[in-house]
A and B are shown apart, each in its own frame.
Chain A
């Protein structure tokens, strides 16, 4: 009987998430879903309803839903831009993203008292049959409620929208406010009575969703900042506005960037897929790595889908503009597997899965770009950029559309298999960033762990952002941009600020970008493998080989890898210089 209950909960969660969260199953999977019944996995045959791949998040349901008697409350949340969204000014403030609960599902097995399991099989059969019917009607109902329309639109390929759907699962929830309640309508499925309890499913849903305008996000065309000049005059030590949301930290875990633990929050049993204000993430610590649940969107493109949800919230045209601009700074970068945004580019599904968050390899330039754009005032000077490195994935989020247009850095095609790998990498990350170091720490864990199929370059670059100590790397930077002061790493939120490098004034933008990159590389933590980071892995017993291989993969890399990286950087530098040289020539001729 217990098995029936837990499977029922799992199945209903699967049904609900499948038809509400776009990022769980990117488009290309939809067509594959209608394959023959015979290929259904054994686990999927429960209740005679084959649903297809189970999102990895479901695997972890057992962890947090300790007590089967607790209600499982699934909130479907629509993330959209608040009314005080700013103009398309490049330096404008962040657009507030508002989360509205558009549906709340409560699946509950109510058992008034703990009764010994009566193993009456005929009774069980009856209950099972009734549950089958209940789940069928749940499945149909999902498609009749208003939220389904939005889900379909969001799932359609190609477009990115200004809305996003995320979910939150918990065992308790904040009741709705009066105003909200008035907008909701309730539907209760007839409960199925069992001898030891009662299965009930109910939903409160918003009657109308016409308030939310679903608009395709305008694609950001990268603009080249022709007169970019790094200015040392700007305050290099400018610190980020603290993330009052605290969510920042939380968001990381999703992405796998590991921020983790600093995200304290939480409500004991709840986890969410996206950025949810009170950030009710179950911390990895307590669950030994189960948190990955949130990000479990095991979509083929790894990190992108991870916390895609999150990424969405912070989308603002201005930011994107910024980030792209910064990218554009160094066109020559594109071809080379620069550690930056390319990660995004690589995943083909990026555009589709709106929620791509920056992937691990987002490395150096990455932070500069978006991070800065967002939080710093309009100044593209490098010092600031540096300071934003591993920034919250939010910042570094790049609009998929722009990414695709921005560069062809497709170097990091992550194999789909990393689905679970990512999941686990989250947990790894969480461990990694335990020390509360958000910034640099963020990228490290995940990046490294998820990177196995990545190009060596990216891998190494990701490793650069290891959380630990930011002492100068073991390698000497081939680009001797300037003398670099030892990076000042402030604890906690203050973003690890790199001391300003005084870029040569008036340097060509490309050179400046190179310089910045180099500088960051220099300042990045060494490629030491911190064994403690990987200790987390041992916690995740259920992780599949993905993570294990990932972690194992990194262990052996040491100085030799660093040297290789160096060499690649050197090559890159040469390439850039040669290109810029050519560029100069051309300019002169023109």
Chain B
């Protein structure tokens, strides 16, 4: 089956907004892919006037929070970089490698790429400037900030619409729901850029290893 990839619109976020934005997006995607019995949970964002839906599963919440923490840690080490969080859904298949061994293989059928551009926190030079200047920059910053905030809110809403549209348009590739209990019907993983600089490259290699020719692994 084919693997669908969705690249979400890039969002410019400030450091303190990362958590909420990423949480919102990840949960929304998972809500549409957790096809087990779900009792939806509505969450209002604090920073924006947006309400999104969580699937209500505690495991999922925990996993997402962990990943967000890791991501924030990474961002702090690599400031001012465009980053990407990848949420992937896969199927696990047993593949007969050779006549005596089997191998678990992950077959990815969907990738979501969340593109973020974390804006660096503006350094405050107020100590040196004159008072008036400080006030000016202060006001400007505030105004800029609110403009940016508004545009981020609109962009986030667009991203959510994008997710919904993608979810609706592409339904064929979704594998049949495995008959297991629980909210999450399909295993998933969240990939954040790793510490190395060639983060994206490493991810690609990893993925290739997992889905590629089994002989590579042995």
Question: Which residues of A in the span 554-588 have a Cβ within 8 Å of any Cβ on B?
Answer: none
Residue of A50, A149, A192 ringed by the most chain B CB atoms within 10 A: A50
Q: When the two chains form their complex, are residues B38 and A126 in contact, meaning their CB atoms are under 8 A apart?
A: no
Report A-chain residues with C-beta under 8 Å of the C-beta of B169.
190
Report B-chain residues with C-beta under 8 Å of the C-beta of A137.
32, 164, 167-168
Q: When the two chains form their complex, are residues B52 and A190 in contact, meaning their CB atoms are under 8 A apart?
A: no
Q: When the two chains form their complex, are residues B53 and A143 in contact, meaning their CB atoms are under 8 A apart?
A: yes
Q: When the two chains form their complex, are residues B161 and A133 in contact, meaning their CB atoms are under 8 A apart?
A: no
Given known A-B contacts A136-B167, A144-B50, A129 and B174 have beta carbons under 8 A apart: yes
Determine if B35 is an interface residue (Cβ-Cβ < 8 Å): yes
Instruction: Write the nearest CB–CB distance from B28 to chain A, whole angstroms.
Output: 6
Instruction: Write the nearest CB–CB distance from A98 to chain B, whole angstroms.
Output: 26
Contact with A along B1-45 (1 / 0, CB 8 A): 000000000000000000000000000100110011111111000
Contact with A along B143-181 (1 / 0, CB 8 A): 000000000000001001100100111010010110000
Report B-chain residues with C-beta under 8 Å of the C-beta of A129.
35, 171, 174, 176-177
Whole-angstrom CA separation of A40 from B83 in the bound complex = 40
Report A-chain residues with C-beta under 8 Å of the C-beta of B52.
140, 143
Report B-chain residues with C-beta under 8 Å of the C-beta of A49.
38, 40
Q: When the two chains form their complex, are residues B160 and A132 in contact, meaning their CB atoms are under 8 A apart?
A: no
Q: When the two chains form their complex, are residues A139 and B171 in contact, meaning their CB atoms are under 8 A apart?
A: no
Q: When the two chains form their complex, are residues A34 and B167 in contact, meaning their CB atoms are under 8 A apart?
A: no
Determine the residue in chain A with the shortest Cβ distance to B169.
Answer: A190
Whole-angstrom CA separation of A143 from B160 in the bound complex = 11
Whole-angstrom CA separation of A45 from B38 in the bound complex = 9
Q: When the two chains form their complex, are residues B171 and A190 in contact, meaning their CB atoms are under 8 A apart?
A: yes
Instruction: Write the nearest CB–CB distance from B109 to chain A, whole angstroms.
Output: 13
Report A-chain residues with C-beta under 8 Å of the C-beta of B49.
149
Chain B interface, >50% SS class: mixed
Q: When the two chains form their complex, are residues B39 and A37 in contact, meaning their CB atoms are under 8 A apart?
A: yes
Determine if B56 is an interface residue (Cβ-Cβ < 8 Å): yes
Q: When the two chains form their complex, are residues B164 and A34 in contact, meaning their CB atoms are under 8 A apart?
A: no
Determine the residue in chain A with the shortest Cβ distance to B28.
Answer: A140
Contact with A along B57-80 (1 / 0, CB 8 A): 000000000000000000000000
Whole-angstrom CA separation of A149 from B49 in the bound complex = 8
Question: Which residues of A in the span 149-173 have a Cβ within 8 Å of any Cβ on B?
Answer: 149, 152
Determine if B126 is an interface residue (Cβ-Cβ < 8 Å): no
Partner of A37, one of B32, B38, B157: B38
Given known A-B contacts A141-B164, A143-B52, A48 and B36 have beta carbons under 8 A apart: yes
Determine if B141 is an interface residue (Cβ-Cβ < 8 Å): no
Whole-angstrom CA separation of A126 from B164 in the bound complex = 19
Determine if B120 is an interface residue (Cβ-Cβ < 8 Å): no
Q: When the two chains form their complex, are residues B38 and A50 in contact, meaning their CB atoms are under 8 A apart?
A: yes
Determine the residue in chain B with the shortest Cβ distance to A148.
Answer: B51
Instruction: Write the nearest CB–CB distance from A45 to chain B, whole angstroms.
Output: 6
Determine if A189 is an interface residue (Cβ-Cβ < 8 Å): yes
Q: When the two chains form their complex, are residues B39 and A126 in contact, meaning their CB atoms are under 8 A apart?
A: no
Q: When the two chains form their complex, are residues B35 and A132 in contact, meaning their CB atoms are under 8 A apart?
A: yes
Whole-angstrom CA separation of A33 from B41 in the bound complex = 9
Residue of B32, B39, B176, B177 ringed by the most chain A CB atoms within 10 A: B39
Q: When the two chains form their complex, are residues A136 and B32 in contact, meaning their CB atoms are under 8 A apart?
A: yes
Given known A-B contacts A34-B56, A139-B53, A140-B28, A50 and B161 have beta carbons under 8 A apart: no
Determine if A125 is an interface residue (Cβ-Cβ < 8 Å): yes
Determine the residue in chain A with the shortest Cβ distance to B182.
Answer: A37
Whole-angstrom CA separation of A45 from B37 in the bound complex = 7
Report B-chain residues with C-beta under 8 Å of the C-beta of A329.
none
Partner of A40, one of B31, B37, B168: B37
Report B-chain residues with C-beta under 8 Å of the C-beta of A139.
40, 53
Instruction: Write the nearest CB–CB distance from A316 to chain B, whole angstroms.
Output: 31
Report B-chain residues with C-beta under 8 Å of the C-beta of A189.
168
Determine if A130 is an interface residue (Cβ-Cβ < 8 Å): yes
Report A-chain residues with C-beta under 8 Å of the C-beta of B38.
37, 48-50, 136
Q: When the two chains form their complex, are residues B35 and A133 in contact, meaning their CB atoms are under 8 A apart?
A: yes
Report B-chain residues with C-beta under 8 Å of the C-beta of A144.
50-51, 157, 160-161, 164
Determine the residue in chain A with the shortest Cβ distance to B160.
Answer: A144
Instruction: Write the nearest CB–CB distance from A190 to chain B, whole angstroms.
Output: 4
Instruction: Write the nearest CB–CB distance from B24 to chain A, whole angstroms.
Output: 11
Whole-angstrom CA separation of A491 from B140 in the bound complex = 71
Question: Which residues of A in the span 166-193 have a Cβ within 8 Å of any Cβ on B?
Answer: 189-190, 192
Whole-angstrom CA separation of A190 from B166 in the bound complex = 10
Determine if A134 is an interface residue (Cβ-Cβ < 8 Å): yes
Determine the residue in chain A with the shortest Cβ distance to B35.
Answer: A132
Whole-angstrom CA separation of A310 from B174 in the bound complex = 45
Determine the residue in chain A with the shortest Cβ distance to B164.
Answer: A137
Instruction: Write the nearest CB–CB distance from A8 to chain B, whole angstroms.
Output: 15
Determine the residue in chain B with the shortest Cβ distance to A130.
Answer: B171
Given known A-B contacts A37-B39, A48-B36, A143-B42, A133 and B171 have beta carbons under 8 A apart: yes
Contact with B along A14-49 (1 / 0, CB 8 A): 000000000000000000011111001000010011
Whole-angstrom CA separation of A133 from B89 in the bound complex = 15
Determine the residue in chain B with the shortest Cβ distance to A126.
Answer: B176
Whole-angstrom CA separation of A133 from B31 in the bound complex = 9
Report A-chain residues with C-beta under 8 Å of the C-beta of B37.
37, 40, 45, 48, 50
Q: When the two chains form their complex, are residues A133 and B53 in contact, meaning their CB atoms are under 8 A apart?
A: no
Whole-angstrom CA separation of A148 from B40 in the bound complex = 16
Report B-chain residues with C-beta under 8 Å of the C-beta of A192.
171
Instruction: Write the nearest CB–CB distance from A219 to chain B, whole angstroms.
Output: 27
Q: When the two chains form their complex, are residues B177 and A140 in contact, meaning their CB atoms are under 8 A apart?
A: no
Determine the residue in chain B with the shortest Cβ distance to A188.
Answer: B168
Whole-angstrom CA separation of A134 from B161 in the bound complex = 14
Q: When the two chains form their complex, are residues A140 and B176 in contact, meaning their CB atoms are under 8 A apart?
A: no
Given known A-B contacts A34-B56, A144-B161, A50 and B42 have beta carbons under 8 A apart: no
Report A-chain residues with C-beta under 8 Å of the C-beta of B28.
140
The interface of chain A, by Cβ under 8 A from chain B, is 33-37, 40, 45, 48-51, 125-126, 129-130, 132-134, 136-137, 139-141, 143-144, 148-149, 152, 189-190, 192
A-B contacts, 22 listed (Cβ < 8 Å): A33-B39, A40-B37, A48-B36, A49-B40, A51-B40, A125-B177, A126-B176, A129-B174, A129-B176, A132-B35, A133-B171, A134-B168, A136-B167, A137-B164, A137-B167, A139-B40, A140-B32, A143-B51, A149-B49, A189-B168, A190-B168, A190-B169
* Inter-chain pairs besides A139-B40, A140-B28, A144-B164, 4 sampled, C-beta below 8 Å: A137-B164, A148-B51, A152-B51, A192-B171
The interface of chain B, by Cβ under 8 A from chain A, is 28, 31-32, 35-42, 49-53, 56, 157, 160-161, 164, 167-169, 171, 174, 176-177, 183
Q: Give the top 4 A-B pairs by smallest Cβ distance, nearest first.
A: A190-B168, A50-B39, A143-B51, A137-B164
